[in-house]
């Protein structure tokens, strides 16, 4: 039985080391992951309202994913949708309607 524990412990340590190496190699991609939820939600809701022409309530349900969002703000005058993620995905992103040809685009925070 002691041999089984040694093998199990060694396997767990190897997995942790491999996971750490993988995380270090992909740190840029992992750092951008929290923006995905709010970016997706904002762009889909904006496109639903301004490109497809649906109402706000329909578009909130259409864009909703399995992870909840903290806030949803729609500014009809500026034609923007701003969404903040919840839990570890607590990032805010905005999508703005440009025109018929380009539809909605994500607004860069530096703009």
Q: What is the pLDDT of residues 37-77, one digit of tens each?
A: 888 889 999 999 999 999 999 998 888 876 678 889 999 99
Torsion over CA: 101, 105, 110, 111 (sign): positive
Q: How far, in Å, CA of 108 to CA of 111, rounded?
A: 6
Work out the average pLDDT over 27-37.
77
Q: How far, in Å, CA of 59 to CA of 45, rounded?
A: 5
Neighbours of 56 (CB within 10 A): 14
111 or 5, higher pLDDT = 5
| 3-state secondary structure (DSSP) of residue 68 | coil
């Amino acid at each position: 039985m002691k041999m089984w524990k040694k093998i199990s412990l060694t396997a767990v340590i190897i997995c942790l080391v491999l996971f750490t190496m993988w995380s270090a190699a992909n740190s840029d991609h992992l750092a951008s992951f929290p923006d995905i939820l709010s970016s997706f939600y904002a762009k889909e809701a904006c496109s639903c309202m301004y490109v497809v022409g649906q109402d706000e309530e329909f578009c909130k349900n259409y864009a909703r994913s399995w992870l909840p969002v903290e806030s949803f703000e729609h500014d009809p005058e500026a034609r923007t949708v701003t969404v903040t993620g919840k839990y570890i995905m607590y990032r805010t992103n905005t999508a703005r309607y440009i025109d018929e040809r380009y539809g909605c685009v994500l607004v860069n925070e530096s703009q």
